[in-house]
């Protein structure tokens, strides 16, 4: 079964089954970028400043909103305004992991009210299918069509247990929730080789652990490059310290953008010429 990862973003934008998937691919195509900035900054001022500076070069801004020490309405209003101004989506890297009933409260309410402002969230299937069922229900009942879930199907950290059967079942569960599950956070494309893959399914692959100058950190993080990620079927490259901690984050984001975009163009062209 051919994977959708060989199609141009513009084509995927036209036929993606999910409205948020369509918007995501439209943004990538319009801005010519597949970079997701992992903006792991710890106060509102720094977070908004980096979102404003790098916003023109990214498709998605990924947050860990619970590490923002002065989180409040100004954080959300600022992010929402910048997302509109610079044309990017907001992805809260919440990694939900609990029973469905708890997760619904964490998603909709509490201090963070994630559902109100984050277009994308992620969740692990470790608790079983109920967690995805719960998030799916909140999305469908919430009446905002531009909300989606990425299933955390693999992890980049050394010794990760998110492998094998866990990863396989992540794909199986994703297929059951087309109205809310957009795809995966994973190191590579996962779904096209499974016997249950269908011609028109199009899971979006977000790949974290991307860095152009480091192989990892002292706490188990393991990196690959933009090129290996895209060659492995990734659609969007999540990079954090490689960009925001660089001496010149604007030059860094441009480098990641160029590397990611050129690798994507090669992937699409290769298949185009093979089928001619
Ligand atoms: O497997 C994973 C999944 C995620 S979402 N490995 C990860 O590193 N992440 C997140 O990606 C992590 O929480 C952090 O926000 C980002 C990687 O940051 P970097 O500074 O190492 O690029």
How many angstroms separate the CA atoms of 199 and 249, rounded?
Answer: 40
Kindly state if the Cβ of 186 falls inside 6 Å of ligand 1: no
Report the percentage of the chain scoring pLDDT > 70. 97
Query: Which residues pair with residue 122 across a beta bridge?
Result: 150
Q: Map out the domains of the chain with their CATH numbers.
A: 4-275 (3.20.20.70)
* pLDDT surpassing 70 at residue 272: no
- Ligand 1 center from residue 271 Cα (angstroms): 30
Least confident segment among 30-44, 133-147, 246-260: 133-147
- Give the model confidence (pLDDT) of 30-39 as tens digits: 999 999 999 9
151-185 pLDDT, tens per residue? 999 999 999 999 999 999 999 999 999 999 999 99
Residue nearest to atom 13 of ligand 1 (CA): 93
Q: How far is CA 199 from CA 64, 81, 159, 205, 216, in A?
A: 35, 38, 34, 17, 36
pLDDT tens by residue, 118-142: 999 999 999 999 999 999 999 999 8
Burial class of 20 by CB neighbour count within 10 A (0 to 12, 13 to 18, 19+): buried
> Which atom from ligand 1 is nearest to the alpha carbon of 155?
1
d(CA 184, CA 18): 14
Distance in Å from the first CA to the final CA of the chain: 18
Q: Answer yes or no: is 241 a known binding residue.
A: yes
Q: How far is the CA of 55 from the centre of ligand 1 (A)?
A: 19
Residue 2 scores a pLDDT above 70: no
Active site residues: 93, 95, 98
Residue 274 pLDDT > 90, yes or no?
no
- 218 contacts: CB under 8 Å, gap ≥ 6: none
For the chain, give me the number of helices (H) and strands (E)?
Answer: 11, 8
The pLDDT of residue 1: 46
Residues 6+ apart with CB under 8 A from 97: 123, 124, 126, 127, 131
- Cβ of 21 below 6 Å from ligand 1: no
* Local structure of residue 195 (DSSP, 8 states): T
Residue closest by Cα to atom 11 of ligand 1: 208
Please give the model's pTM, rounded to 2 decimal places.
Answer: 0.97
CA angle 246, 251, 254 (to 5 degrees): 115
């Amino acid at each position: 079964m051919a994977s959708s990862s060989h199609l141009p973003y513009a084509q995927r934008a036209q036929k993606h089954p999910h409205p948020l998937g369509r918007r995501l691919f439209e943004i990538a195509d319009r801005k010519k970028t597949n970079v997701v900035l992992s903006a792991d900054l710890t106060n509102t001022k720094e977070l908004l400043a980096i979102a404003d500076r790098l916003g023109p070069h990214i498709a998605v801004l990924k947050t860990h909103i619970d590490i923002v020490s002065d989180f409040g309405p100004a954080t959300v209003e600022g992010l929402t305004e910048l997302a509109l101004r610079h044309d990017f989506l907001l992805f809260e890297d919440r990694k939900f992991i609990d029973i469905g009933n708890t997760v619904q409260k964490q998603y909709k309410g509490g201090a963070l009210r994630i559902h109100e402002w984050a277009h994308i969230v992620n969740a692990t299937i470790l608790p079983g299918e109920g967690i995805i069922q719960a998030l799916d229900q909140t999305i469908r009942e919430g009446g905002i069509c531009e909300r989606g879930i990425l299933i955390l199907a693999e992890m980049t950290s050394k010794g990760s247990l998110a492998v094998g059967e866990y990863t396989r079942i992540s794909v199986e569960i994703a297929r059951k929730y087309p109205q809310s599950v957009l795809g995966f956070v994973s190191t590579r494309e996962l779904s096209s080789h499974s016997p249950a893959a269908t011609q028109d399914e199009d899971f979006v692959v977000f790949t974290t652990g991307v860095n152009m100058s480091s192989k990892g950190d002292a706490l188990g993080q393991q990196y690959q490059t933009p090129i290996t990620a895209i060659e492995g079927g990734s659609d969007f490259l999540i990079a954090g310290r490689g960009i925001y901690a660089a001496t010149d984050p604007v030059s860094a984001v441009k480098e990641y953008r160029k590397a990611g975009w050129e690798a994507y163009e090669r992937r699409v062209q290769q298949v185009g010429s093979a089928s001619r």
